[in-house]
């Protein structure tokens, strides 16, 4: 019985590993062929590699037939294989079909550009992310939270400001960028100001909801302890609001980066990710544009990831974080 | 492994099925008219008062004495740093209803580029084209994701991750790449709108299609329903509420996409072009009126979807 189980458990593993190895080998061969400029054989190799890697993903995603180790890795492995396949197809298509780099540069070209212009990209990153997006995100979220606290103290303010806040959240706020550039100058201050305005309202709306998230019973308990407004806030309502606050912080994280980059399209000193994107697009050197976008993507997802980690530490009590 | 809420799904959860209008309107019905009107009046008053300090360095104000006279000048400046609200309203009226919409040229009647409605139409047409493309692609992908497990596992982490990166930054690339193939005008902007509006629809619809619980799916199986029947009679109706809340997020970022798509190449027409030319020539009143127009457009687009939502849910027998 146990032998039979091992056999059936062993078979899918062997098949998965074999298909994965075949796909990878053919893909590498196809990459070599493409860079040598081969023709008909290349197309066949690409199709075989693609089919093999996709079949590997199909096998891997049937996790009930796999042993635990592989099944638990599937959540990371399947998207990884898929992403790498996509990059492989992009590379092979660009090189094999000789797509002009004005249209779409190959990943290898982008990587080369990224590594060879790290100082430039680093300076852009500091200008846009560290100087504009991060302070703007902090100020916007903090003032949004302060406004939510004021709304919480004065119900009249809440009933007046919340509908307006909800309304403004749906507007294309990014359009105020040219006005703020005029007010605060070309440098990072105007970009930070755009980010402040963009991040204020999501925090306001979420924090107002979050501050009323604590239960009736818990609040009555605090009341029977004779706790003051501040004590109730710190001991009960702020912790209860944390999932909502982090929700807003995460929405704001991606808004901040978008705001800072797009605001630079309206004028900036000769530095910054948005400036780099708009000038290099003008000079048709798309590899540099893509390299900047890679930096922006890594910065954005790292920012988001850090927030998720902090959220898990802070809201350890929340059902979605308990095992 | 706890599910990490994506920004889009978070935004969906935050706004729920309420629209800005529904928020304002239900607030009004609950007796919030007075608070909203008060706050709006305070904002307007602060705005009018701020016009003098904001514009104090302009040469027109250098030799004007007396507070009342200074304010009178500050509220009617040609190129103020901060225009007064009534200046924006006047400019908005003059550039829309006060300007002929059509103009006679050698090729016959064309939309007049001096009219703000022309620019609004240029942007809205790109927004709507992109929105429809994004909607169709998003729903198609969600259908595939719900039915093919390997695809779900392959794609969902990437779709979720894509919400954390500033994908709007790719807009200039699309404009240039399509431009080098000779495709200019509406289509590149629509492509930007499409890929921006596609993500919320995919995420929302994947959730919506997966929302019927096991008991309902089992019931369909006891009826020996085919996968197509399960989809059409159970999953699709169950996903409709999610569809509309995704659409509201989609249409507003679709508009942002179309506006931003007009920035990098210096488009001739559109709200983004108006913003850009206003900022080049220091025409602040023009920027503000274009911005107001963008806000009106966003509100109208969302209101149309909210109306469609009400009608659809009523027709499906939803109880309020």
Distance between A31 CA and the closest CA of chain B, angstroms: 23
- Higher per-residue confidence, B115 vs B215: B215
ipTM value greater than 0.85: no
Are A71 and A128 part of one and the same domain? no
For residue A283, give how far its alpha carbon lies from the nearest alpha carbon of chain B (Å): 10
Q: Tell me, yes or no, whether B241 and B152 share the same domain.
A: yes
Give me the residues of B, 119-178, that contact A with CB < 8 A: 149-150, 152-158, 161, 163-166, 168-170, 172-173, 175-177
Same domain for B127 and B64, yes or no, is: no
The whole-number average pLDDT for the span B243-266 is 85
Nearest 5°: phi and psi at B263?
-80, -50
In contact, B259 and B295? CB cutoff 8 Å: no
Are residues B142 and B41 located together in one domain of the fold?
no
**pLDDT tens across A276-316, in order?**
988 888 888 888 999 999 999 999 989 999 999 999 888 88
pLDDT tens digits, A72-93: 777 788 888 889 989 988 888 8
Say if the Cβ atoms of B81 and A300 lie within 8 Å: no
Q: How far is CA A16 from CA A9, A25, B230, in A?
A: 11, 14, 32
The H or E element containing residue B272 is: helix B271-281
Tens-place pLDDT, residues B121-135: 989 999 999 999 999
Residue A103 lies in a domain: no
Confirm if B281 and B43 have CB atoms less than 8 A apart: no
Statement to judge: residues B304 and B220 lie in one domain:
yes
A75 lies in the same domain as A19: yes
Distance CA A15, CA A138 (A): 51
Would residue A176 count as lying in a domain? yes
**Does residue A105 fall inside a structural domain?**
no
The reply to whether residue A166 touches residue B39, judged by beta carbons under 8 angstroms, is: no
Q: What is the CATH number of the domain that holds A121?
A: 1.10.3720.10
Which pLDDT tens digits describe chain A residue by residue (323 residues)?
444 444 444 577 788 888 888 888 888 888 888 777 767 778 888 888 888 888 888 888 876 777 777 777 777 888 888 899 899 888 888 888 888 887 888 898 899 999 999 999 999 999 989 999 999 999 999 999 999 999 988 888 888 888 888 888 878 888 888 888 888 888 888 999 999 999 999 999 999 989 988 888 999 999 999 999 899 999 999 999 999 999 999 989 988 998 999 888 877 778 889 889 888 888 888 889 999 999 999 999 899 999 999 998 888 887 777 65
Closest-CA residue of chain A to B255: A172
Would you call B50 an interface residue with chain A, using a CB distance cutoff of 8 Å? no
Query: A307 is in which domain, residue-wise?
Result: 115-318
Q: Residue B294 domain-assigned?
A: yes
Tokens describing residue A162: 């919340």
A185/B contact by beta carbon, under 8 A: no
Q: Are residues A170 and A143 located together in one domain of the fold?
A: yes
Give the domain CATH number at B283: 1.10.3720.10
State how beta strands B102-105 and B108-111 pair: antiparallel
When divided into structural domains, chain A yields a total of 2
Domain contains B169: yes
The verdict on B293 and B152 lying in the same domain is yes
pTM of structure: 0.83
Reported as a single tens digit per residue, the pLDDT across B50-76 is 888 888 777 777 777 777 878 887 787
Q: Do A165 and A291 lie in a common domain? A: yes
Q: Is A166 on the interface with B (CB under 8 A)?
A: yes
Find the CB nearest B252 among A74, A164, A170. Answer: A170
In a domain, B247, yes or no: yes
- Do A167 and A293 lie in a common domain? yes
Nearest to A204, CA basis, from A156, A154, A259, A249: A249
Show which of A40, A63, A98 is a domain's final residue. Answer: A98
User: Which chain A residues are within 8 Å of B303, Cβ to Cβ?
Assistant: none
| Two tokens, residue A82 | 């898929």
- What's the structural domain count of chain B? 2
Interface contact B252, partner A, CB < 8 A: yes
Residue B47 is part of which domain span? Answer: 17-82
Among all residues of chain B, which has the CA nearest to that of A251?
A: B7
| CB neighbour list of residue A158: distance below 8 Å, 6 or more residues apart | A151, A152, A208, B35
Structure tokens of A175?
């359009």
- The shortest C-alpha distance from A89 to chain B (Å) reads 16
């Amino acid at each position: 019985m146990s032998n039979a189980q091992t056999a059936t458990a062993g078979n899918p593993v062997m098949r998965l590993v074999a298909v994965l190895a075949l796909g990878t080998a053919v893909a590498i061969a196809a990459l070599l062929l493409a860079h040598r400029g081969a023709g008909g054989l290349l197309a066949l190799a690409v199709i075989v590699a693609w089919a093999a890697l996709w079949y590997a993903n199909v096998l891997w995603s049937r996790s009930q037939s796999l042993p635990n180790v592989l099944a638990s890795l599937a959540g990371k492995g399947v998207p990884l294989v898929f992403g790498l396949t996509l990059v492989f197809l992009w590379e092979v298509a660009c090189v094999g079909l000789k797509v002009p780099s004005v249209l779409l540069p190959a990943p290898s070209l982008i990587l080369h550009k990224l590594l060879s212009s790290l100082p430039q990209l680093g300076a852009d990153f500091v200008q846009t992310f560290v100087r504009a997006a991060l302070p703007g995100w902090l100020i916007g979220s903090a003032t949004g939270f302060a406004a939510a606290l004021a709304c919480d103290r004065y119900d009249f303010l809440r009933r007046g400001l919340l509908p307006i806040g909800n309304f403004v959240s749906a507007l294309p706020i990014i359009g105020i960028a040219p006005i703020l550039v005029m007010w605060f100058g070309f440098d990072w201050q105007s970009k930070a100001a755009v980010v402040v305005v963009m991040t204020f309202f999501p925090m306001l709306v979420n924090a107002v909801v979050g501050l009323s998230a604590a239960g009736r019973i818990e609040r009555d308990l605090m009341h029977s302890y004779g706790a003051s407004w501040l004590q109730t806030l710190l001991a009960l309502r702020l912790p209860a609001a944390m999932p909502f606050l982090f929700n807003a912080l995460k929405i704001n994280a991606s808004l901040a980066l978008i705001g800072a980059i797009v605001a630079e399209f309206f004028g900036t000193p000769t530095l910054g990710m948005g400036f780099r994107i708009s000038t290099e697009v003008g000079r048709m050197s798309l590899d540099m544009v893509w390299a900047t976008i890679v930096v922006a993507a890594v910065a954005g997802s790292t920012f988001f990831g850090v927030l998720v980690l902090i959220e898990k530490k802070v809201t350890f009590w929340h059902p979605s974080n308990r095992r | 492994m706890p599910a990490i809420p994506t920004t889009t799904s978070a935004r969906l959860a935050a706004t729920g099925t309420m629209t800005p209008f529904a928020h304002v309107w239900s607030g009004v019905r609950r007796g919030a008219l007075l608070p909203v009107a008060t706050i709006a009046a305070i904002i307007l008053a602060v705005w009018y008062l701020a016009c003098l300090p904001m514009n104090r360095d302009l040469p027109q104000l250098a030799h004007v004495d007396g507070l009342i006279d200074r304010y009178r000048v500050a509220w009617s400046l040609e190129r103020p740093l901060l225009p007064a609200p009534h200046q924006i309203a006047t400019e908005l009226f003059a550039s829309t209803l006060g300007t002929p919409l059509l103009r006679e040229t050698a090729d016959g009647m064309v939309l007049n580029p001096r009219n703000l409605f022309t620019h609004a139409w240029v942007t809205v047409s790109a927004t709507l084209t992109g929105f429809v493309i994004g909607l169709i692609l998003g729903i198609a992908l969600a259908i595939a994701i719900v039915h093919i497990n390997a695809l779900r596992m392959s794609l969902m982490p990437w779709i979720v991750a894509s919400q954390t990166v500033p994908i709007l930054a790719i807009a200039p690339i699309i404009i240039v790449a399509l431009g080098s193939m000779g495709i200019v005008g509406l289509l590149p902007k629509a492509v930007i709108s499409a890929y921006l509006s596609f993500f919320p629809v995919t995420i929302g619809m994947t959730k919506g299609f997966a929302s019927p619980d096991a008991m309902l799916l089992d019931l369909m199986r006891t009826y020996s329903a085919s996968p197509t029947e399960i989809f059409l009679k159970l999953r699709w109706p169950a996903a409709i509420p999610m569809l509309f809340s995704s659409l509201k997020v989609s249409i507003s970022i679709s508009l942002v996409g179309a506006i931003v798509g007009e920035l990098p190449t210096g488009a001739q027409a559109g709200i983004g072009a108006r913003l850009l030319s206003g900022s080049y020539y220091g025409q602040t009143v023009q920027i503000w009126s274009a911005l107001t127009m963008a806000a009106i457009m966003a509100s109208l687009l969302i209101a149309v979807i909210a109306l469609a939502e009400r009608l659809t849910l009523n027709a499906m027998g939803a109880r309020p």
